């Protein structure tokens, strides 16, 4: 990315109305981007998503912690013959699905991504 940034020698200038400027400024704030990065991504056809809430990292860390604790408990139960390996895998998959849902909600999508 540094090489790409150094190679940015062309400038694009255009005018917008005050109403358009307000809308653009509001959208770039929601996305948590500088105006130049927001405009660059929009012009390249990337999908811009709102920046995740500030406490999203805390939520993800907590889900991972709970998942780790659950995994430890289920492994102990499995050793004791109480839990079935398929139950372990189902619980782990549920946790992965929740994390993927959070990541997919806030991960910026590039043009051509599904």
Give the tens place of pLDDT for each residue, 14-39: 899 999 999 999 989 888 889 999 99
Contacts of residue 37, defined as CB under 8 A and 6 or more positions apart, other chains included, come to: none
- Domain holding 56, by residue range, is 52-107
pLDDT at 44 exceeding the cut of 80: yes
Query: Do 42 and 56 share a structural domain?
Result: no
Question: Of 1-10, 28-37, 43-52, 61-70, which one has max mean pLDDT?
Answer: 28-37
DSSP summary character for residue 12: -
Query: Do 27 and 12 share a structural domain?
Result: yes
Per-residue pLDDT, 22: 95
- C-beta separation of 108 from 47 below 8 A: yes
Per-residue pLDDT, 4: 63
Query: Do 78 and 32 share a structural domain?
Result: no
Query: Do 58 and 45 share a structural domain?
Result: no
Query: Do 3 and 34 share a structural domain?
Result: yes
Per-residue pLDDT, 102: 77
Query: Do 101 and 56 share a structural domain?
Result: yes
């Amino acid at each position: 990315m540094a090489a790409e940034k150094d190679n940015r020698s062309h400038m694009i200038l255009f005018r917008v109305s005050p109403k358009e400027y307000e809308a653009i400024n509001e959208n770039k704030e929601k996305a948590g981007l500088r105006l130049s990065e927001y405009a660059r991504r929009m012009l390249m056809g990337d999908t811009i998503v709102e920046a995740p809430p500030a406490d999203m990292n805390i939520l993800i860390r907590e889900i991972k912690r709970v998942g780790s604790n659950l995994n430890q408990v289920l492994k102990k139960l499995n050793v004791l013959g109480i839990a079935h390996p398929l139950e372990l895998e189902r619980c782990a998959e549920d946790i992965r699905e929740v994390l993927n849902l959070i990541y997919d909600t806030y991960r910026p999508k590039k043009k051509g991504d599904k």
